[in-house]
Amino acid sequence: MRSSSGRFVVTGTNSIESVYISRWADKTTSKIEDMLNIKMPFRHRLVRIAISTTTGEKKGQKPPSWVTVSQGILGNRFEQGLVIYNYDNKKRDLALCHLLMNGYVRSWDFKKWPLAGIQDDTPSYSLYQVPLWLSCGIKENIMPKDRESNSNDVVVRWMDGTLPPLSSVIVPQSRFNYAQKTPDEALCGVFVSWLLSVPKSRVLFGDIFSRLADGKEVSLDWLAQKIPGCGSRTKMSEAWDWWLNGEKRRIYKPGTTSLAAIKDLQSELLIYPTNFGISRNSGLPKVVMLSELVNLRNEEWVKKAAASKSISVKLTAAGRGKDFIAVADLYCDFFDLLTGKGSKKELKVALAIAETARKSLIARYQAEKSGK
Print the SS3 string covering 59-70: CCECCCCCEEEE
**In a 3-state reduction of DSSP, which class is residue 89?**
coil
Strand partners, 73: 78, 122
Q: What three-state secondary structure class fits 94?
A: helix
d(CA 268, CA 226): 35
Specify the pLDDT at position 237: 94
**Single pTM value for the model:** 0.79
What's residue 171's pLDDT?
A: 86
Across-strand partners of 11? 50
Tell me the CB-side half-sphere exposure of residue 142, using CA atoms within 13 A: 21
Backbone angles phi, psi at 169, to 5 degrees: -120, -25
Answer yes or no: are the C-beta atoms of 326 and 357 closer than 8 Å.
yes
Q: How far apart are CA 209 and CA 165, in angstroms?
A: 24
**Residue 11: enclosing H or E segment and its boundaries?**
strand 8-11
How distant is the alpha carbon of residue 67 from its chain centre?
23
- DSSP conformation letters of 248-315: TT--SSTT---HHHHHHHHHHT-B-GGGGT--GGGS--SSB-HHHHTTTTTSHHHHHHHHHHHHHHHH
In a structure prediction context, what are the per-residue pLDDT tens digits for the chain, which is 372 residues long? Answer: 888 888 898 988 788 888 989 999 999 999 999 999 999 888 778 888 888 765 545 545 555 457 788 887 777 778 888 888 866 667 889 999 999 998 888 876 555 544 443 443 444 445 567 899 999 999 999 999 999 999 999 999 999 899 999 999 898 877 666 556 678 999 999 999 999 999 999 999 999 999 998 888 999 999 999 999 999 999 999 999 999 998 988 888 888 888 889 999 999 999 999 999 888 888 888 999 999 999 999 999 999 999 999 999 999 998 898 999 999 999 999 999 999 888 999 999 999 999 999 999 999 888 887 664
> What Rg do the C-alpha atoms of the chain give, in angstroms?
26
202-233 confidence digits (pLDDT tens): 999 999 999 998 888 999 999 999 999 999 99
